[in-house]
Amino acid sequence: MIEPVAITAYTCISAAGDGVEALWQALVDNRCRLSSLKLFELPFETVVGAVKTPLPEVSERLAAYGCRNARLALKALNQDGFRARVEEAMDRYQRERVGLVLGTSTSGIYDSEAVYTRFLETGTMPSDFHFMRRHAAQATAEFLALELGLAGPSYAISTACSSSAKALAAGQRLISAGVCDAVLVAGVDTLCRLTLRGFHSLELIDPQPCRPMDSSRRGINIGEGAGMLLLERRAAANAGAPFLLAVGESSDAHHMSAPHPDGAGAARAMAMALERAGVSPESVDYINLHATATPLNDQSEARAVTQMFPKPPPCSGVKGLLGHTLGAAGAVEAVVSLLALERGLLPGTCGFRELGVDSALPVLGDPQAGARPRHVLSNAFGFGGNNASVLLRSGGA
Amino acid sequence: MMERMSLLGYAVCGIGLESDALPFDVGGIDRDAMPAGLRRRASEATQLAFSAAARACREAARSPAALPSVFASVGGEMQVTDQLCIELAKPEGLVSPTAFHNSVHNTAAGYWTIVHGCPEPATALAAGHDTFALGLLEAWCQLSCNGGELLVVCYDERWPGYLAPPLGRVAVASAMVLAAGDVPEALAHLGKPCPIGASGNRAEFSNLLETAPAAWALPLLQSAALGEAGPVALSGNGWVGDLLLATSAAA
């Protein structure tokens, strides 16, 4: 058992637009938000989940941290009143008691890629390039901590596509172990050449909008996004807030870039989340699937869910709407799950028509309104066979 | 609430590391730490991390398959990432599937679980110059919340000189097997890592620590080996851990 923590604020930027209302509208409409890539040229066809609204510049004081990833993080911080809630928490507790855990897979590499073009031409790195402050995994965490004046522990978890789901786990532990009273958990990842061309080399990119769990699925679309959640120690003042009950984590011990075909590791992560929270499988009302739309991943996850749940609850995945936001996916989809919990809508699976896995998974193609979910699981699985499953509960008694 | 964690075994491996003054042996890359097929494809970072992790597990007489793990690294797969960035800057640059999946920060953690058939959670984190301290704090939080034992590995390979000078001149990996609470067989006990700001000891390591943040395990392990109890610096930014000696080690 681990101490549940309250989620007292959250926000999200994605291909759906800025803020939770834009994300909510996308979930209600269930209409694909993927589009052609404008940031740079690619030697193959695909669509991406890009953030299309302008990104703010970082302040002059922190100019060395300025990169697409930090700018997306800053934009998220400044919307939905999220920053004010973090600052209130810093006032309520001591600054030293507020921590920050970032989940990211590629951090500021998009800007490094441009710098390398100049490096190859001139043989020297530009003098204003600062690897540790732009590209290193922790760079955006350090930027956010300096921007906010947070003085608690600050670090990045980088376990590929499970990064920010595991950042939620780390944030909960910091509170549960008595190190922090509040933790800002952020998942931030931006479009870059490395992930697009890397997943293409693995033959995992769909040239068309992806179709999670569908019989004709062919692969993923890459997206970018930032999800932010403020975790706080439970108190009378936040009794109405939704809770992070537990995160289950496991390793497939199978392959660097392919899931275990039976989904044993994924099932273990879900089982651990339920066990740590003392919640039975029958109590889970909805599962936000990882559902990347690659043939192997979806099959493996479907087997994992049906292994764990004799009668699986409604399931769906949002990557046909937003693309796969990689290291940000855990946080972005935790926000999707919180909207499901707080507003009573089970998201649909954009692009899904016909079940294409050998397990009887109740996949929602269209959103289901009027639901009253109480417990929601959100899955995130990454390279290295790294699995995390986040268990959330609605607020109130 | 957990008051301390126990050190069950440790190891340090490095390349270019001056180790004569240390009260314990520093190894290089241990070729037996990973299967030959993987070793041919694995980076210096992953090979060193494996070498230290395997030795620490052996010292602690623990099976790698049974331990959750925390892998902490400032730059992760820096050399692979650098090579990929060079390829991506060329019009017809090549990105191989293996190079891509070997560029993720959790490459060492992923292969560690795959090679040992370990189903336990493995995490990978980075915290700049505080990477060792926060790897240890993450270990503390996991042991405090989950109990049991775990493996913590802190490592970095040598980096291209143009990337983050003067960092990355030395390749080093440390590994520790830790247990929640007081364990009778412990070599030493550690209190909760705290950012209290009283560092500055271990002047003999200062050159190394400024160029290799992953080497911050050395002052702690030196104190443990010499039987010197008290606060130990875990980073240059004020992170400190309280080292308490086990009865047998103090005797």
Among A158, A172, A254, select the one facing B126 at the smallest CB separation.
A158
pLDDT number for residue B247: 64
Q: Model confidence at B196, in pLDDT bands (50, 70, 90)?
A: confident
Residue A265: pLDDT over 60:
yes
Considering only residues 135 to 164 of chain A, which have any Cβ-Cβ distance to chain B shorter than 8 Å? Answer: 136-138, 141-142, 151-160
How much is the average pLDDT of B162-170?
Answer: 94
Residue A5: pLDDT over 60:
yes
For residue A387, give every residue at least 6 positions away whose Cβ sits within 8 Å of its Cβ, in sequence order, or none.
A162, A248, A249, A250, A251, A252, A265, A266, A268, A269, A379, A380, A381
Q: Model confidence at B200, in pLDDT bands (50, 70, 90)?
A: low
For the stretch A95-129, pLDDT in tens is 999 999 999 999 999 999 999 999 999 999 999 89
A212 phi, psi to nearest 5 deg = -55, 135
pLDDT number for residue B197: 66
For the stretch B225-243, pLDDT in tens is 999 999 999 998 999 999 9
Yes or no: say if B177 and B10 are a contact pair by the CB < 8 Å rule.
Answer: yes
The alpha helices in A203-328, defined as continuous H runs, are 264-277, 295-308, 319-322
CA distance B23 to chain A (A): 31
CA atoms of B109 and B114, how far apart (whole Å): 9
For the stretch A335-386, pLDDT in tens is 999 999 999 999 999 999 999 999 999 999 999 999 999 999 999 999 999 9
Q: Do B122 and A386 touch (CB under 8 A)?
A: yes
Mean pLDDT rounded to a whole number for chain A: 97
Q: Model confidence at B251, in pLDDT bands (50, 70, 90)?
A: very low
Among A116, A131, A170, select the one facing B164 at the smallest CB separation.
A131
Contact A119/B at CB under 8 A: yes
Q: Do B106 and A160 touch (CB under 8 A)?
A: yes
CA atoms of A310 and B99, how far apart (whole Å): 40
Among A132, A199, A249, select the one facing B128 at the smallest CB separation.
A132
DSSP collapsed to 3 states, B160-218: CCCCCCCCCCCEEEEEEEEEECCCCCCCEEECCCECCCCCCCCHHHHHHHHHCHHHHHH
Q: Model confidence at A297, in pLDDT bands (50, 70, 90)?
A: very high
For the stretch A268-295, pLDDT in tens is 999 999 999 999 999 999 999 999 999 9
CA distance B108 to chain A (A): 9
Yes or no: say if B131 and B214 are a contact pair by the CB < 8 Å rule.
Answer: yes
Cis peptide before A347 (omega within 30 of 0): no
Residue B250: pLDDT over 50:
no
For residue B152, give every residue at least 6 positions away whose Cβ sits within 8 Å of its Cβ, in sequence order, or none.
B69, B70, B72, B135, B136, B138, B139, B175, B176, B178
Among B89, B121, B141, select the one facing A250 at the smallest CB separation.
B121
Please report residues of A whose CB lies closer than 8 A to that of B84.
194, 198
Active site residue ranges of A: 161, 290, 324
Q: Do A193 and B88 touch (CB under 8 A)?
A: yes
Yes or no: say if A90 and A82 are a contact pair by the CB < 8 Å rule.
Answer: no
Structure tokens at A46: 């695909």
For the stretch A308-324, pLDDT in tens is 999 999 999 999 999 99
Query: What totals of helices (H) and strands (E) does chain B contain, helices first?
Result: 9, 9
Q: Do A383 and B101 touch (CB under 8 A)?
A: yes
For residue B98, give every residue at least 6 positions away whose Cβ sits within 8 Å of its Cβ, in sequence order, or none.
B41
For B89, nearest residue in chain A (alpha carbons):
A117
Helix or strand run (H / E) with residue A246:
strand A243-251
pLDDT number for residue B249: 44
For A153, nearest residue in chain B (alpha carbons):
B134
How much is the average pLDDT of A220-225?
Answer: 98
Residue B61: pLDDT over 90:
yes
Q: Which of A71-85, A277-291, A302-316, B198-212 has the lowest mean pLDDT?
A: B198-212
Please report residues of A whose CB lies closer than 8 A to that of B167.
132
pLDDT number for residue B116: 98
Q: Do A268 and B119 touch (CB under 8 A)?
A: yes
Q: Do A116 and B86 touch (CB under 8 A)?
A: yes
